[in-house]
Amino acid sequence: MKKVGIIGVGEYLPKKILTNADLEKMVDTSDEWITTRTGIKERRIASSHEAASDLAINAAKEALKDARLKPQGLDLIIIATITPDMQFPSTACLVQANLGAKNAVCFDISAACAGFVYAIIVAQQFIARGTYKNALVVGTEVLSSITDWDDRSTCVLFGDGAGAAVLSEVKSGGILSTYLGSDGSMANLLMMPAGGSRNPATHKTIDKRLHYIKMEGNEIFKSAVKIMVDTAQIVLKQAGLKCSDVDLVIPHQANVRIIMAMAKRLGLPSDRVFLNIEKYGNMSSASTATALCEAVKVGRIKKGDIILLDAFGAGLVWGACLIKW
Ligand code: ACO
Residue 52 and residue 155: Cα distance in Å, rounded? 19
Catalytic member of 20, 155, 252, 255: 252
Query: Of the residues 143, 145, 153, which should be mutated to test ligand 1's pocket, given the most ligand atoms within 8 Å of the CB?
Result: 153
Residue nearest atom 42 of ligand 1, based on CA coordinates: 217
Which residues are registered as beta bridge partners of 107? 78
- Closest Cα to residue 170, out of 303, 30, 312, 17? 303
Distance from Cα 28 to the centre of ligand 1, integer Å? 13
Distance from Cα 235 to the centre of ligand 1, integer Å? 30
Q: Which atom of ligand 1 is nearest to the CA of 23?
A: 7
Q: Which atom of ligand 1 is nearest to the CA of 29?
A: 1
Which backbone phi and psi does 114 adopt, to 5 degrees?
Answer: -90, 5
- pTM more than 0.85: yes
Q: Which atom of ligand 1 is nearest to the CA of 218?
A: 37
Query: What order do you get walking across the sheet with 306-313 strand by strand?
Result: 174-182, 317-324, 306-313, 248-251
Q: Which atom of ligand 1 is nearest to the CA of 313?
A: 50
Catalytic member of 20, 58, 93, 113: 113
Distance from Cα 154 to the centre of ligand 1, integer Å? 7
Residue nearest atom 10 of ligand 1, based on CA coordinates: 153
Annotated catalytic residue 293:
no
Residue nearest atom 3 of ligand 1, based on CA coordinates: 29
Do 319 and 171 form a contact (C-beta atoms < 8 A)?
Answer: no
10 Å CB burial of residue 251 (0-12, 13-18, 19+) is buried
In tens digits, what is the pLDDT along the chain, a chain of 325 residues?
Answer: 999 999 999 999 999 999 999 999 999 999 999 999 999 999 999 999 999 999 999 999 999 999 999 999 999 999 999 999 999 999 999 999 999 999 999 999 999 999 999 999 999 999 999 999 999 999 999 999 999 999 999 999 999 999 999 999 999 999 999 999 999 999 999 999 999 999 999 999 999 999 999 999 988 998 999 999 999 999 999 999 999 999 999 999 999 999 999 999 999 999 999 999 999 999 999 999 999 999 999 999 999 999 999 999 999 999 999 999 9
Residue 186 and residue 57: Cα distance in Å, rounded? 33
Q: Please state the length of the chain.
A: 325
Catalytic member of 134, 155, 282, 293: 282
Pair type for strands 214-215 and 190-191: antiparallel
Predicted pLDDT at 222: 85
Q: Which atom of ligand 1 is nearest to the CA of 254?
A: 44
Annotated catalytic residue 203:
no
The binding-site residues of ligand 1, defined as CB within 6 angstroms of any ligand atom, are 29, 33-34, 37-38, 112-113, 152-153, 156, 190, 217-218, 220-221, 224, 254-255, 282, 284, 313-314
Which residues are registered as beta bridge partners of 249? 273, 308
Annotated catalytic residue 276:
no
Residue 141 and residue 157: Cα distance in Å, rounded? 13
Residue nearest atom 30 of ligand 1, based on CA coordinates: 218
